[in-house]
Amino acid sequence: MTFGIAARLGWLLALGGILTVGMTGYYAYDASRTLLIEAAKNELLTSTQVLARRIALTRESVSRDLHVIANHPAALAALDHKGSVAKDDLATLFHLIMGANPGYFQVRLIAADNHGLETVRVDRDGLGLVRVEDDELQEKAHYPYVFNTLKLAAGETYLSRIVVNHEHGSHAGLDQPTVLFAMPVTNAVGQVKGLIAINLDLKGLFALLAKDLPTDFKLFLANRDGDYLIHPDPAQTFGFDRGRRILIQDEFPATGALVDKQRDAIVLDVDSGAYAEAPIVAAFIARDVDIASDENRLVLGLAQPLSAVLRQGDMLGSVTLRIVLLLSLLIAIIAALLARFIARPINAMSAAAQNFDDDRLTAALPLTRQDEIGILSRSFRDMRVQINQQLAELETRRGELEHMAQHDFLTGLPNRALFADRVELALANARRNRGRLALLFIDLDQFKPINDTHGHAVGDQLLKCLADRIRDTIRESDTAARIGGDEFVVLLQEVRETDDVLAVADKLRRAIALPCQIDSAEACISASIGVAFYPEHGNKLTELTKHADEAMYRAKEQGRNAVVMA
């Protein structure tokens, strides 16, 4: 049987069409898998950076608590042996701080003399707090966190190594993973009289951080030498405490560059060793500790099963296979009759398959045709739309994580880091244009009794209401932020008259004092507001914050619910 040119061309076109459809499906599936893996890596890296930032914020929060205690008059009075009243006052302050921070195992005042004798000490024991007194107080001068902290200047924070706590009599903290923060207590002439030490529950801290992660994420943390501190398998953690080394660079060799300070971040696929049967995608970052510490570098990582990343890609592959089989059959039937008509569409499909991300090539497909080529083109377009939708969802999740890193999760206001960036930009603009700006420090009056009486849920709703009030009261060009539990700050730009700023501050005070509707009841609270101006009260954020904070405390001393200028 002799085949003519048309028949041979038909067979060639049929074969070419089938190959083209197959290539389209293959490139689409392969591109989707690659894009999904790369998007997952970027998401993991972003999530890891957000976790690192939240850990840094936790350290800053502990440092603020240390600063409050170390500068409390009762701390110096207790170290100078001025009676039991100061010790009792300090113990009360310890109870309040530990009540507000369930992750604190211990808060202690330790003297620089008397062999580092504990002067005031409150421990967490079960669900309650216990004050350790008299003969149960211990000498701690031989511990590194004591003699290293005593070498620091006033206001500096010390961070111990992360270990399992074996100090005798530690109550709830005994034999638990812990990290210790400390700060010296100095007198008026700068002489170090002792130190404040806070033991932090490491297991509880990372359990709280991991709660916000997707369930299939795995969390890793290693110290400067690579010893595991956090691992999905608890048996792999704190091996050095049991006389053996379990290192992150042994499980993930590429992380050796992080431990050796050759790199600060890596993203990798792991499909060997313990992960040969269940490969993972992982992101690790290393951060140097920027305060006085024996733990001068930490390695943090997140991992996700590769199967979870590719689950959507596999679903798309199944759809692609069915489309390829259907279209191959259609092309084989009509190839002999439409050889000349299908040449150009096939070439267009091949080009679009090989350049999957090019919108112009996809738009050039014959989408309006009502024959099999039109079906093939629209199927290809729909497949591309599915992939783009999945990538858009991943991009949205990454954007949400970045937003979480810069905004307060409760009120939606900028957090301390974002507020500091905006103040620095405003200061630079003010210096360039010889302008003025104002910083308002707002502290709610008697907010803790509301939490204690009505619960944190009511307190959170009240904070949201007040945050909305503050946001609605100021201009769009100004910035309001929440920097603590009941503390807010406001940046007013392009300030001219002092009285105008004080009028805005008083307007904020009156707005805060209005009742907030919470469920079926009304809640009322007042605020004390301190005001500082650039350049009169400083040309740096720290100076403006200090003066505004001092003015706020004077407002509280004058009876609260007031505005005071620095």
Instruction: Provide the annotated active-site residues.
Output: 486
CA distances from 389 to 312, 384, 395 (A): 11, 9, 10
Separation of alpha carbons 106 and 112, rounded Å: 18
CA distances from 212 to 54, 205, 208, 228, 351 (A): 12, 12, 7, 22, 43
Closest among 30, 15, 19, 14 to 356, alpha carbons compared: 30
Contact residues for 91 (Cβ-Cβ < 8 A; gap 6+):
120, 122, 131
3-state secondary structure of 185: strand
DSSP H/E element including 165: none
3-state secondary structure of 180: strand
CA distances from 553 to 77, 485, 506, 528, 559 (A): 22, 16, 16, 8, 10
Contact residues for 223 (Cβ-Cβ < 8 A; gap 6+):
161, 162, 229, 295, 297, 298, 299
Q: Is the preceding omega at residue 253 within 30 degrees of 0, hence cis?
A: no
**Residues 223, 164 contacting (CB under 8 angstroms):** no
**Quick one: angle between helices 202-211 and 5-70, nearest 10?**
140
- Region of 126 please: left (phi>0), alpha (psi -120 to 50) or beta: left
Which residues partner with 482 through β-bridges? 488
Q: Which DSSP letter does residue 161 get? A: P
